[in-house]
Structure 1
């Protein structure tokens, strides 16, 4: 049972990290006076999401892996946006 609990917790942490990354990007507007601060926060959320998703992929079920792969692809898109 602990293995399944850890698997679920890892997946939920990845979901949460992805959601937080999305929220950070909602506040990212170049014309905003706090753009630098929001950009830095988005970078931090991006780094965390990458780490948490990778960690969750180790123990994920097949269904979870498909969702985590989608998160990974989306995270890469966010990463490209930050680098522009």
Structure 2
């Protein structure tokens, strides 16, 4: 039972990390022309890095269904990185 609980907790942490990174990025896009934009981009970078780490951790024990979702989370984060690098 602890294994299953840890597996679920790892997935939930990755899911939450993904959401926080997506939210931080969305907010950065709303304030793109404002003075705090650079600081917000740094926050986005931190959230993305943390989410990547959480996803990698969750992938170690993920079920097939979870793995597909986690891989989608990784693609979403890569899209953020690509957008930020192209700005």
Give the structure-2-normalised TM-score.
0.92
| Structure 2: runs of 5 or more not aligned | none
Contact between 1:43 and 1:82, CA under 8 Å: does it hold in 2?
no
Counterparts of 1:4 and 1:70, CA distance in 2? 22
Q: What TM-score does the superposition give when structure 1 sets the normalisation length?
A: 0.95
Which ranges of structure 1 fall in alignment gaps of 5 or more residues? none
Q: Aligned to 2:60, which of 39, 54, 58?
A: 58
- Deviates most, 30-39 or 14-23: 30-39
Residue 6 of structure 1 aligns with which residue? 6
Deviation per CA, 1:12-43: give whole Å up to 9, x if none. Answer: 00000000001101211320211011000000
CA RMSD in angstroms comes to 0.8
Residue-pair matches, total: 84
1:42 corresponds to: 44
| Structure 1 residue 30 corresponds to structure 2 residue 32 | yes
